[in-house]
Structure 1
Amino acid sequence: MTTTPITRRTGLNRTVLLRAGAPWHEHRAGRVLGATGLSGIVADAAAGAAVALDDTPLVTLDRALLAGEQWAEAVAEQWTDALAHLLQTLRSPTDDDRAAREEWGEEDWARWASVRQVVLCGGVVAGELGRRASRDPRVVAQRAELAPEPARAPLLGLAAGLADGLVLDLGHSSIKAAAVRDGVLASTTGMPVPWRPFDTSTWPSPDTVLGLVVEAARDAMDPSAPDDRDLEVRVAIANYVVDGLLDDDPTYGTLRSRGPDPRRVLGHSLTRGLRRPCAVTVLRNDGAAAALGVRSTQPAADAREGPGRHDDQGRGEATTAVISIGTSLGLGFADA
């Protein structure tokens, strides 16, 4: 079976969650599980419990979960229930589930039928919420597990096999960067982005995006490292990337106005900003970038549990799906 690229059509954000009576019934997964939707739920729940949001909603949620506060427990239960239901929908869809995702063809559902392991990563699951969800029996039953370093998973994936260079994770809440030297990923530096998802009045210009990328890269560079040779740069981005091209998105997609090849656009800006030759050799969606560092841990025989079980390339092998839960849902397949 031909590998289908991850796009708006084939990605997870538009998957409709269906269970009558659930607070997320008939809502799209990206808005329920992603940071933007979850932050709204946290803010409402905190207000109902007369709890002040002294920090960002997700930081407040994690702190309240550690303290055992009832309102936070209720939010975590609702979110975990929705996550488990999404995984069940993907792996064992009902006729209603299929009808609600009418843009998917049989090859899309077959790809998920081949999944024998799911790895969760991203900022939303980097704290107590993610640890709890990954231990929940409903999530465990779907063979999902938490990445060792959820917040750094895209950077770790990009760094796999890289001897020396720079890795960047361009997200919708922050831009993260880390140097790689002698095959070792250094500590991560990060900076918040000035825009807010879904708020058109805050969306950036290409110059703003490129300026932030250069600043993050500069902060991550080791001043003692030699700067007389070309710098290889690998980039994860909160955007769909198909055949090296960015999806038409009003945040990172704005780089399309600077040229058709985003790797060349980013490389040119980094070369100028860092004052050394830079070449962007990898550009992936954040979920696909994280998948570069993941390999299936399910036994090979497990992939043969029943007739018609195959991966998206028809090899009869297990496929590992990587879901990056940040502002919305990124996706990658480790064995695709």
Structure 2
Amino acid sequence: MRAPDITRRTGLNRTVLLRPGATWHGRPAGRVLGATGLSATVRATASEAEVAVEGAPLLVLDRALRAGDAWAEGVAEEWVDAFAHLLRTVRSPTDADRAARAEWTEADWVRWETAPRVVVCGGVVAGELGSGASGDPRVRAHGAEVAPDPGRAALVGLAVGVGDDPGVLLDLGHSRIKASRVRQGLLGPSVAVAVPWTPFETRTWPAPTALLDLVAQACRQVLPDDHETGPLRVRVAIANYVVDGRLDVDETYGTIARPEEDPRARLSGELSARLGRPVQVDLLVNDGAAAALSVRSPLPAAAVISIGTSLGTGFTGA
């Protein structure tokens, strides 16, 4: 039987972290652990240490961790502590944890408690922060491990089973749109197109036509320059909940298609027009579900947490 889709209700973002005295006590996990919350922590902590944050905060953090800077190690320690606490919350919940997530049913808790392992991926853990977390005993105590290629886990998952099909794999995220192809049975190099919006600030989100232009731009960057015109197969991971094949109502990627419309058909038609060739989007899944496709695990299903702008979730076999 097919596992149920991950939804806004069943996902991890709203899980409240509870530990009186901790800086993150009482806050939802998505806003603490995701890239937006972590970036705010980096800026504040670096400012206190009189360190200028020039460029992307998470890149600044990564460089500072490699250099052994004390302020960065403090940020990493707090993040790992919060992440380990999230794992403890969903794997061994207290009565208070359950009460703080009253929308979850017993089946939701059991799904996490019985997962034999937790695979962690996403851009937040693609550098030194992930390397440190992967060996931390607080994280490993809950059967958690960082994926081998965490920043591209969704693309790796999309590539499973495609063989040498010369199609395009897309990872539509909140900080960038990534694209790649499969070459000789392996995932090839990926490209990234920066996006002109601010995560969680929906007023900065572009119109659907502008958004689809960016998706087509990412496709062009991995397609050959030989004016190929044959049919193109595309697989898509998206930073939006996908429920029964439809995009959850959301003012971000949810604007690509109307709630009653098949987003694969909409994307196929729009990309066909932009690329000048027939395009067939044959798979569209949440980024966490895409990452889960890359994980080999026997039953019961392993859990996958994709940490980017917020927390994506997937389970093997779903």
Which TM-score applies when normalising by structure 1?
0.91
Q: Given that residues 160 and 293 in structure 2 are in contact (C-alpha distance below 8 angstroms), is that contact kept between their aligned partners in structure 1?
A: yes
Q: Given that residues 258 and 265 in structure 1 are in contact (C-alpha distance below 8 angstroms), is that contact kept between their aligned partners in structure 2?
A: no
Q: Given that residues 229 and 276 in structure 2 are in contact (C-alpha distance below 8 angstroms), is that contact kept between their aligned partners in structure 1?
A: no
> Mapping of 1:21-170 within 5 angstroms?
21-163=21-163, 164=165, 165-170=167-172
206, 210, 213: which one aligns with 1:211: 213
Q: Given that residues 248 and 259 in structure 2 are in contact (C-alpha distance below 8 angstroms), is that contact kept between their aligned partners in structure 1?
A: no
Q: Distance in 1 between the 2:21 and 2:246 partners?
A: 41
Q: Distance in 2 between the 1:88 and 1:171 partners?
A: 27
Q: Distance in 2 between the 1:280 and 1:258 partners?
A: 18
Q: Given that residues 249 and 259 in structure 2 are in contact (C-alpha distance below 8 angstroms), is that contact kept between their aligned partners in structure 1?
A: no
Q: Distance in 2 between the 1:108 and 1:82 partners?
A: 21
Q: Distance in 2 between the 1:10 and 1:168 partners?
A: 25
Amino acid at match of 2:118: V
Q: Distance in 2 between the 1:234 and 1:128 partners?
A: 30
Q: Distance in 1 between the 2:61 and 2:131 partners?
A: 13
Is structure 2 residue 161 aligned with structure 1 residue 179?
Answer: no
Structure 1 gap segments, 5+ residues each: 301-316
CA apart distance, 1:184 = 2.5
Aligned match of 2:192 = 190
Q: Given that residues 16 and 97 in structure 1 are in contact (C-alpha distance below 8 angstroms), is that contact kept between their aligned partners in structure 2?
A: yes
Q: Given that residues 231 and 278 in structure 2 are in contact (C-alpha distance below 8 angstroms), is that contact kept between their aligned partners in structure 1?
A: yes
Q: Given that residues 158 and 292 in structure 1 are in contact (C-alpha distance below 8 angstroms), is that contact kept between their aligned partners in structure 2?
A: yes
Q: Distance in 1 between the 2:236 and 2:211 partners?
A: 14
Q: Given that residues 35 and 326 in structure 1 are in contact (C-alpha distance below 8 angstroms), is that contact kept between their aligned partners in structure 2?
A: yes
Amino acid at match of 1:105: T
SS in 1 for 2:9: coil
Mean alpha-carbon deviation: is it higher for 74-83 or for 215-224? 215-224
Q: Distance in 1 between the 2:136 and 2:182 partners?
A: 35
State the Cα deviation string for residues 30-72 of structure 1 (Å, max 9, x = none): 0000000000000000000000012211000011111111111
Mean alpha-carbon deviation: is it higher for 257-266 or for 321-330? 257-266
Amino acid at match of 1:222: P
Q: Given that residues 179 and 222 in structure 1 are in contact (C-alpha distance below 8 angstroms), is that contact kept between their aligned partners in structure 2?
A: no
Is structure 2 residue 275 aligned with structure 1 residue 274?
Answer: yes
Q: Given that residues 232 and 280 in structure 1 are in contact (C-alpha distance below 8 angstroms), is that contact kept between their aligned partners in structure 2?
A: yes
RMSD: 1.5
Aligned match of 2:16 = 16
State the Cα deviation string for residues 12-37 of structure 1 (Å, max 9, x = none): 00000011111111100000000000
Q: Given that residues 39 and 57 in structure 1 are in contact (C-alpha distance below 8 angstroms), is that contact kept between their aligned partners in structure 2?
A: yes
Q: Distance in 1 between the 2:180 and 2:216 partners?
A: 12
Structure 2 gap segments, 5+ residues each: none
CA apart distance, 1:325 = 0.2
Q: Given that residues 119 and 304 in structure 2 are in contact (C-alpha distance below 8 angstroms), is that contact kept between their aligned partners in structure 1?
A: yes
CA apart distance, 1:2 = 7.3
Amino acid at match of 1:277: P
SS in 2 for 1:186: strand
Q: Distance in 2 between the 1:187 and 1:223 partners?
A: 16
CA apart distance, 1:11 = 0.2
Aligned match of 2:306 = 324
SS in 2 for 1:11: coil
Aligned match of 1:253 = 254
CA apart distance, 1:269 = 1.4
Q: Distance in 2 between the 1:105 and 1:146 partners?
A: 28
Amino acid at match of 2:305: I
State the Cα deviation string for residues 277-301 of structure 1 (Å, max 9, x = none): 11001101101001111112xxx7x
CA apart distance, 1:228 = 4.5
Amino acid at match of 2:39: S
Amino acid at match of 1:145: E
CA apart distance, 1:116 = 1.0
Q: Given that residues 134 and 145 in structure 2 are in contact (C-alpha distance below 8 angstroms), is that contact kept between their aligned partners in structure 1?
A: yes
Amino acid at match of 1:15: T
Q: Distance in 1 between the 2:317 and 2:261 partners?
A: 28
Structure 1 segments of 4 or more deviating over 6 A?
none
